[in-house]
Amino acid sequence: MTGTAFAQTLVNGVMMGGTLALVALGFSIVWGVLNIINIAHGTFIMLGAYVTYWTFTLWGVDPFLSIPLAMLAMFVLGYLIQRFIINFVIRAPLLVTFLLTFGLEIIIINLALFAWKGDFRSVTTSYSGVGWVMGDIKVPYIRLAGVGISLLLALLLHLFMTHTKTGNAIRATGMDIDAARLMGVKIAPTYALTYAVGAALAGAAGSLISMSLPIYPNMAGSWTLRSFVIVVLGGLGSIPAVLLGALAFAMVEVFGGFFLPGLKDAIAFAVLVLVLIVRPSGIAGKAFYE
C-alpha cells in the first residue's frame, strides 16, 4: 500500500465512521434504556432514506433539507410503534421483544417491497461525486457533511440526555426503573419517547446513506447488523463508545476491503469476536450515556 492509498483509505474510514456512528446511536439508546435488541432498527434507516429519496424525486427538495422531515416522520412512527405495540410486552423476556421487533421488521420490509418494489434507487444531485481534493486525496463533500451532521446530532443527544429533565428521566429509567418510578417518572411515555428518539436518529442516518449509497427495502437487515456490531464493539451505554465503535468498525472494514476485498465482512466480524474474548464490555467499557 502506497502512502497515498493509505491516506485515501484512512479518509474513507473516517467518513464511513461518521455515518456509522449515527446509524448505531439510536440502536444503542434503545438497547441501553429499554433493554431491547431492536431488530426493526434498520427499517427506520430504510424508511428515512426513502423519505429523502421521494422528497427529492417528487418535489426537488435538497436531500440535506429533508433530514429534519425524515427525523420527524420516524420519530412519530417510532413513538406509535413502541407505545401501542412493543409496550405491551416490554417487561417480557428478551427473546419475546427480540421476536416482536423481528416480526415488525418483516412486516415493514414487505410493505416497502409492495409499495416501491425491490429496485435499487439513489439520490443524485448536482454536487454528488464532487469533493475537496488535496493532491491525490479526495474528500467527498457529501461524506464530509455527513460526518459533521453525525457529530452534531451526537452532541445534541448528549446535551439532551444530560442537561434536560426529560433526558435525565430517560437515564434514570434505564439505570433503575423502580427508583425512577418512585421519583415520579412515567415509565410508558418515557419508553415511547426513547424509542422515538432512536427511530429519529435512524431516519437521519437513512437520509445520509441515500445520498451516497443505493437504497432498497431489503437494506434494513444489513444496517441493523452493523448497528449491533458497533454497539457491542464500542460498549453499551455511552455516546463516545458508539463513536469509537463506529470508527473502529469502519477502519477494519475499509482496510480489510483494500487488502482482502472478498473477506472484508469476515474480517470485521473476526475483530468483533476477538474484542468479545479479550474485553467483553467493549473497547470503552460499559457506562450510561455520559
Tens digit of each residue's pLDDT (9 = 90 or more) over 7-63: 899 999 999 999 999 999 999 999 999 999 999 999 999 999 999 999 999 999 999
Residue pair 224/42 in contact by the 8 Å Cβ criterion: yes
Using the predicted structure, report yes or no on whether residue 99 has a pLDDT greater than 90: yes
Q: Is a pLDDT exceeding 60 seen at residue 209?
A: yes
Tell me the C-alpha distance between 287 and 241, whole Å: 9
Q: Give me the number of domains the chain comprises.
A: 1
Taking alpha carbons only, the member of 148, 114, 126 closest to residue 211 is 126
Please report whether residue 136 resides in a domain.
yes
Residue 272 or residue 117, greater confidence = 117
Domain residue limits at 138: 3-278
Let me know if residue 80 belongs to a domain. Answer: yes
Q: What is the pLDDT of residues 148-180, one digit of tens each?
A: 999 999 999 999 999 999 999 999 998 889 999
What local confidence, expressed as pLDDT, does residue 276 receive?
Answer: 76
In this predicted structure, what is the pLDDT of residue 60? 95
Dump the DSSP string for 199-233: HHHHHHHHHHHHHHS-B-GGGHHHHHHHHHHHHHH
In a domain, 288, yes or no: no
* Cα separations in angstroms, 46 against 200, 210, 218, 289: 12, 9, 8, 26
Which has the minimum average pLDDT: 79-83, 139-143, 157-161, 281-285? 281-285
pTM over 0.85: yes
DSSP state of 236: T
- Cell 429496485 found at: 119
Q: How confident is the model at residue 2 (pLDDT cuts 50, 70, 90)?
A: confident
pLDDT of residue 286: 58
Q: Within a domain: residue 34? A: yes
Q: Is residue 286 part of a domain?
A: no
- 60-94 as b/e, with b when 16 or more CB fall inside 10 Å? eeebbebbebbbebbbebbbebbbeebbeebeeee
Q: What is the pLDDT of residue 92?
A: 87
Domain membership flag for residue 273: yes
Q: State yes or no: pLDDT of 289 exceeds 60.
A: no
Q: What is the CATH number of the domain that holds 15?
A: 1.10.3470
